[in-house]
Amino acid sequence: MDIIDFALKSGVAVIAGLFIGLEREFRGKHAGLKTHALVALGASIFIMMSLEFKGLDYADITRVLSQVIIGIGFIGAGTIMKKGNDIEGLTTAATIWCSAAIGCLSGFGYFKELVIATILIVFVNFFFSIIEKKLIERNKKKSD
Q: What is the tens place of the pLDDT at every residue in 17-48?
A: 999 999 888 888 778 899 999 999 999 999 99
Whether residue 7 is predicted with pLDDT greater than 70 in this model: the reply is yes
Instruction: Give me the mean pLDDT over the 5-24 stretch.
Output: 96
The ranges assigned to domains in the chain are 3-143
Q: With the CA atoms of 121, 23, 83 and 133 taken in that order, what torsion angle do they form, in degrees rounded to the nearest 10?
A: -80
Residue from 20, 71, 63, 19 nearest 42 by CA: 71
Whether residue 129 is predicted with pLDDT greater than 80 in this model: the reply is yes
Q: Hey, which bits of the chain come out as E strands?
A: 81-83, 86-88
d(C-alpha 34, C-alpha 13), whole Å: 12
Residue 86, phi then psi, degrees to nearest 5 = -100, 155
